[in-house]
Amino acid sequence: MSEPAENNGDSTIYGLSVTPLTQCAHWHSPLDIIAIKHFCCKKFYACISCHDALETHTSEVWPQTRRDESAVLCGQCKHVLTVDEYLKSGSKCTRCMSNFNPGCKNHWGLYFQLDGNTT
């Protein structure tokens, strides 16, 4: 069973060794400050490795048709961006302008259905 690591109002963050900024045991640079709500369980996790370590089900990506739903939490200001806002944000929070890790783009296909990504 997964245990909540951080509670930010309505958005409990799950993961391993989660900090108040949403960094975790796997990703903990000063720019690793997002948590993503997983489509499969609707829980915010610091990263997919935390999800896979704590859940018994397989992770599912957000379909392109659901990009208008809130799914990416900024660890700095706790604003929740829609999938579309996040993908178009230029690796910055749209509210507080905190920088996100630009390398996260390399993992978007693990969380979001992208062109040509049907899983």
pLDDT in tens, 36-76: 999 999 999 999 999 999 999 999 999 999 999 999 999 99
31 in a structural domain: yes
Q: Do residues 112 and 106 touch, judged by C-beta distance below 8 A?
A: no
103 in a structural domain: yes
49 in a structural domain: yes
Confidence of residue 1 (pLDDT cuts 50, 70, 90): very low
116 in a structural domain: no
119 in a structural domain: no
> Domain range spanning residue 60?
4-111
SS3 6: strand
117 in a structural domain: no
Total domain count, the chain: 1
55 in a structural domain: yes
CA distance 98 to 61: 25
Burial 64-90, CB ≥16 within 10 A → b, else e: eeebeeebbbbbbebbbbbbbbbbeee
